Amino acid sequence: MLHTKEILANYWQKLYPGQSLDKLNVFFQEIESVKDEVKSNSTQSDWYKDAVVYSLYVDLFNQSFKGLEEKLDYLSNLGVNCLWLLPILDSPMRDAGFDIRNYKKIRENLIGLNENSSEEEQLLVFKNFLAKAKQKGIRVIFDVAINHTSDQHKWFQESRKSDNNPYRDYYIWNKDTNKYKEARLLFKGMCPSNWEKDGDCYYFHRFFEFQPDLNYRNPQVLLEMSRNLLFWLKQGVDGFRADAIPYLWKEDGTNCENLPNTHLIVKFFRAVLDYIKPDTLLLAEACQKPKEVVKYFGNSDECHAGYHFPLMPQMFKAIGKQSSEPIIHTLSLNVTPEIPDGSQWFTFLRCHDELSLELVYVSEEDRKYIHETYCRNPKWDFRVGEGISARLADLMERNPQKIGLAYSVMLTLPGTPVIYYGDEFGKTNDENYYHEQIKLIGKDDTRFLVRGHINWEKLGKKLANKNTFESQVYQQLTNQIKIRNKYKNFGRGKIEWIELKDEKDNFLKEILAYYRTYDNTKLLIINNLSDKEVIINLNKQLIKLPEKDLLKQPLNFTENGVLKLKAYEYFWLNVE
């Protein structure tokens, strides 16, 4: 078996043919030093398969890391065992922190110390938070934008000074805009071009103009980004969400997405992380079709996991059309290929951005239907119809049962679920925060609607009253997560679709039903996707069910053995 040094040298020579190995050899000596510092105590490298992930902005959730520490019991009681911290690194905050100014520093407002505190004191606050989270059985991963930096990063500030500046080649400069013309505009409606004029030249960017893309053709960029990851491994993080991973390598004459050398870069990162701390999660944010995303798993030598972006809009389509077909089709082998044993899909109903309807993985017909069905307010429109900026509660018309059904589907389908902060109690769009941010950044980015602060005092009173909307949503979700955490079937088991029929022997397309099996345990999940009562004839299928399901919900049987489901009702049943 090849030694890690040989593996890295192999990737290096493919990426940079003719380049000396001297810089890589120096880097490997650094790796050896870090390996001595970092100790991995985990006995389970694929822990992420059994995780329930909760994503949050530290400042919006509860002001600072001290505030987040105070809410660890809340998160633990919810059933969360992994936190995904949305951008926490130093940033001018023009794109919610995805515009990184310093990769080795956390934003000072999240630390909560006075302005004269040292970098060591600031890091200690973060490390203490990590230690307390681990005491609660909660792992922590965070976002790192590896495709681009802020235009205020010291590399870019140097890069723009002159053609012969040592940092010039850290970014992609050109005398005109005639390169990479096939690269699509990712922020359609907000950025007219992927090139931005600066002095006598232009620099390339896939996102906002204040987020210049890094140039991985320069091997120094690969090494520096690897050093950034190593720095945070030493602090004790459990993994990284690799933002915008498909765009790392650019080739003129291509769409600059999913290129072979991008995969070599990811393999390089993975080999470094595996050597230092084998249980470190590398999570791919690739807004692509599953057949492309699975390539980022490699042969279990790239990312451990990736988001299943197409599944998210199809869950909304299934509920909108009251039909199981969109979900079953999306998870079929025709759309979602098999993945390596060590890999995992991450699933979600909502994330920190819009309900994405990118035509990369959504057909024009589906985009149109979902947008027309769920974009109930013109303000929610994002990217000229390719997204909807709305919270889950707003998308589900603030109907607690409908929200509970959506969670039932997401939490029981294959993969690791991600819950976006506030959705667990039905947080709604935040108009005030949206308007505040427009004034700050100077752009009408409707994604700010789905962010905003939590008022914990107000929320506490609402959760204490079982009759409030917030409490009804929260109780359903905590109950579901509690049961999910007891069974490995959901994160690791197989899925088998079953067709249930009515009293007249007609197939009920509005019922999404499936078995989740793992080892000797077999669970039956029944979801009514419709807004009407449905009657299922179980006698003909010889399915025997208990009086209550795993969620302690009573089943409504009639005298002749049929099961009645109310609108948006769901059951989780142990049938072994």
Residues 427 and 391 sit within 8 Å (Cβ to Cβ) = yes
| Domain termination site, one of 426, 456, 484 | 484
* Model pLDDT, residue 30: 95
Say yes or no: 135 and 59 in one domain: yes
Residues 576 and 521 sit within 8 Å (Cβ to Cβ) = yes
Q: In this structure, is residue 298 part of a structural domain?
A: yes
**Tokens at residue 435, please?**
């308007």
Which CATH number is 556's domain given?
2.60.40.1180
Domain with 446 in it? 47-146+219-484
* Model pLDDT, residue 40: 66
Q: Give dist(CA 2, CA 11) in Å, integer.
A: 12
Say yes or no: 499 and 477 in one domain: no
Residues 207 and 183 sit within 8 Å (Cβ to Cβ) = no
Between the alpha carbon of residue 72 and those of residues 131, 178, 190, 385, 422, the distances in Å are 12, 51, 37, 38, 15
Which CATH number is 422's domain given?
3.20.20.80
Say yes or no: 502 and 404 in one domain: no
* Model pLDDT, residue 36: 86
Q: Which of 248, 245, 260 is nearest to 304 (CA)?
A: 245
| Domain termination site, one of 484, 509, 536 | 484
Say yes or no: 476 and 335 in one domain: yes
Residues 68 and 110 sit within 8 Å (Cβ to Cβ) = no
Say yes or no: 433 and 510 in one domain: no
Q: Give dist(CA 500, CA 395) in Å, integer.
A: 28
3-state secondary structure of 302: coil
Q: In this structure, is residue 26 part of a structural domain?
A: no
Q: Give dist(CA 382, CA 446) in Å, integer.
A: 6
Say yes or no: 426 and 555 in one domain: no
Q: On the CB side of 121, how many CA atoms lie within 13 Å of its CA?
A: 9
Say yes or no: 344 and 376 in one domain: yes
Q: Which of 424, 421, 429 is nearest to 397 (CA)?
A: 429
* Model pLDDT, residue 535: 94
**562-565/556-557 β-pairing:** antiparallel
Q: Give bridge partners of residue 266 from the DSSP assignment.
A: none
Read off the amino acid at residue 27: F
Say yes or no: 545 and 466 in one domain: no
* Model pLDDT, residue 1: 46
DSSP-derived secondary structure for 81-144 = -EEEE---EE---SSTT-S-SEEEEE-HHHH---TT--HHHHHHHHHHHHHHHHHTT-EEEEEE
Say yes or no: 67 and 99 in one domain: yes
Name the stretches of the chain with pLDDT < 50: 1
Say yes or no: 479 and 562 in one domain: no
Q: What positions carry a catalytic annotation?
A: 243, 285
Say yes or no: 330 and 459 in one domain: yes
Q: In this structure, is residue 168 part of a structural domain?
A: no
Say yes or no: 472 and 355 in one domain: yes
Q: Which of 143, 155, 149 is nearest to 239 (CA)?
A: 143
